[in-house]
Structure 1
Amino acid sequence: MDKYNENLTDVKEIFRKGDLRAIPKPLLKWYDNNRRILPWREQPTPYRVWVSEIMLQQTRVEAVKPYFQRFMDTLPDIAALAEAPEETLLKLWEGLGYYNRVRNLQKAAIQIMEDYAGIMPDSYEELLKLKGIGSYTAGAVSSIAYGKPNPAVDGNVLRVIARIRKDDRCISEDKVKKAVEKDLWEVIPKDRPGDFNQAMMEIGACVCIPNGAPHCEECPLRQICLAYEDGTQQQYPNKAKAKERTIEEKTILIIRDAELAVLHKRPAKGLLAGMYEFPSMKGFCTAEEVKEYLTENGLQVLRIQPLEDAKHIFSHREWHMKGYLIRVDELAPKKVGPDSADWIYIEPRETQDRYPIPSAFAAYAKGLSMQLGIPRTMF
């Protein structure tokens, strides 16, 4: 008898397949032997758990690790987070995307300082009052950091449950998530709620995977899984079709002289608010159109070199970009044009510690030998 069958010997006789009450015992035994060693797991303080869970939204675990360490080194506690300058926050988050996450993180830190004397609340209900914290994060923090028996239901958990029960409800609907939360509240083990939640997420991320065939031969729950029983695993879960993205075409201008380069700060609200970007033109422009535009903005163009095309995908839009590396006589402009009044002139090395630049421009940052986000040596 293999170790996974052994885990299920007793639960098979008590519960029917698809019964969530059969999950905890074999799942926790599997987790004890297979869990990944992650920095926030080894020191699960409320602050560390909270920051890690926000970072992990929409981002892979391996990508988060170096960001998490740098964030903790720079802002080691809630008070430091509450007081951090916005550009410091954005620079620490540079490359992770979805920058409202870190803005809400700071807003919640300020709430904690003002309303909870700087101590993160342990109550699920109080956690929900904090900016940027929904039912999943409240469940994760309260269970992992405080040992409270509250489920943390994310896409991984919804997928695992949908396959175990052959549940064809649309997991994109909030009412389905709430129903699954209610069902898990009844089965979450009171003595190990944090481990249970992490085990559910772990099995979804590593075994019951979203893309491609799940690794059922490694799954401790396969003998209670209805989808595994009849080979329909990949028919679940049922998700709403993603909305079509709006496509925007842009021409990105990497403008520099012998020493300086040009950046522009984005507006304080909207997409990538407060970040820095390269000047750009709408649509795909020719080199001649670029030269004419820069002349209007007071620059004397010496050379224009085409760069690679690039694409960046946001939630509801795509940027399709072509770029040019442009050498000019000198910066700043000899006269201020319609756009150049808002340009700033920097030494490229300054982007290491200042001027957060979205990863959307990573392909073009190479033209300035910039390193966006976490340096490669940290991976």
Structure 2
Amino acid sequence: MNKPQSLTQRWSETVVDTYGIPSIGLVSGQGATLNDEQGKSYIDLLAGIAVNSLGYGNEHVAQAVSHQARTLAHTSNLFATQPVLDAGAKLIERVGDDSARVFFCNSGAESNEAAFKLARLTGRRRILAAEHGFHGRTMGALALTGQPDKQRSFRPLPGGVEFYPFGDVEYLRQLVEQDPQDTAAIILEPIQGETGVIPAPAGFMKKVSELCDEYGVLLIVDEVQTGVGRTGTFFAHEVEGIQPDVITMAKGLGAGLPIGATITRGRAKGLFGPGSHGTTFGGNPVACAAANVVLDTVNAEFLAGVTRKGDYVRQECEKYSIVDRVRGRGLMLGLVLSAPVAKQAVRDGLEHGLILNAPNENVLRLTPPLVISQHELDTALSTLGTILEELA
């Protein structure tokens, strides 16, 4: 009898090779710990790329999703359902503007596609996006992504997008003033995650907001990775007290289920109308049921815990001799290494039961589940310290 193939062996026979063949196959998880098909455990410091905000096996999420799937799994947006209305109301409350409205979709790329279309509906053509930013892989979101290597094979992309150095408000002002009457929007991430966890300089978002107010330009803040408590506040832009016209989000909102949202207010209010945009699965009741659990869980006490855990991780990681500095906030941190060994650290991590991520050769990105326990943190940081000291 032939021995059954492993999950990783079957991968290339089934799945398009856009990610390469995974090195391990996962089968279960609890809290911030995952288990592979061989029975080996791993502490997860990636959380499905900042997605599994409430960790694995969360009973409240499981109950809500199971109940909704048995009750009403899908209707399309031709009909109203309670979960989508509840989730929308909770997001509007978080924004703090009763005039805000929410468009639900399925991913961060979709939420940024919607933002792109909102910019077009202003009647203006130009959208200004940050160099090295990342907004998704679909064609519109890719056009906003300031990473030429990701764009090159898919040109020509949708036009009208121009790029500015992230954090350089004077350069951005010059771009706007070249043609303010045709500048529709400025888009930015509070922290550029895919580039290596690079926060916007202090005061930058506030100055961009003032620039947008001055010229009637939409301010789009991409909170896909930074939102839902990841940085210790519900939205990362809250630290500068700004009110964007458009907020895009996804990842942690569904605790592992696919859901995104584009929140409109201010100058973006009323730009979408009947027939201007849509998505079959957006606002799916099951995904919204999960989102409601997340939105009910991520309260002030929870956010304080994220900040406390993040400060602890930063403090411990700064002790490692190979760590030059730690960037980011809350539980979205980038360890900037003094040697190009980040990808080797990821490989070594798997051998030692630790899931890590390296956006480039010099940075490790840490985005664990927000519910990671102190015991899991201590174990993970001890293992990480051993790995990095060996590489040093």
Asked whether the two chains share a fold, i.e. TM above 0.5, the reply is: no
Structure having the larger proportion of residues in helix: 1
Structure with the greater alpha carbon radius of gyration: 1
| Higher RCO by CA contacts (8 Å cutoff, separation 6 or greater) | 2
